Amino acid sequence: TQLLEQSPQFLSIQEGENLTVYCNSSSVFSSLQWYRQEPGEGPVLLVTVVTGGEVKKLKRLTFQFGDARKDSSLHITAAQPGDTGLYLCAGDHGSGNTGKLIFGQGTTLQVKP
């Protein structure tokens, strides 16, 4: 079974703090996506990383794809209450381009004012 393990599962921090969320697997992925889900809504894509070692920045969010393309991290600088939500990583094996993504269990982030 191809799994993506996210850690931590839950994170509650104060506004202004930094945090890192990890997404790990024993499988190699051709690309990895990060989604954010707000209460009552479906997940929305934040970023896709494709190349091993790739780093992408989205304002205060920094995403990194591991050199071996088996893991990824999401770092948030100076977290704000608006960052509260469920963060999901999803891997695409690419081979055969099935369209199917493997989702992690998610990290629930709460940023308190």
The binding site for another protein (CB under 8 A) comprises 31, 33, 40-45, 48, 88, 90, 92, 97-101, 103-106
User: Quick check: 1 and 99 in contact, CB under 8 A?
Assistant: no
Q: Is 44 or 78 the residue whose CB approaches another protein more closely?
A: 44
- Closest CB 7 distance from another protein, rounded Å: 13
Cα 55–Cα 59–Cα 62 angle in degrees, nearest 5: 30
- Closest CB 15 distance from another protein, rounded Å: 25
| Extended strands (E) in 38-95 | 44-49, 55-58, 61-65, 71-76, 85-92
Q: Is 73 or 105 the residue whose CB approaches another protein more closely?
A: 105
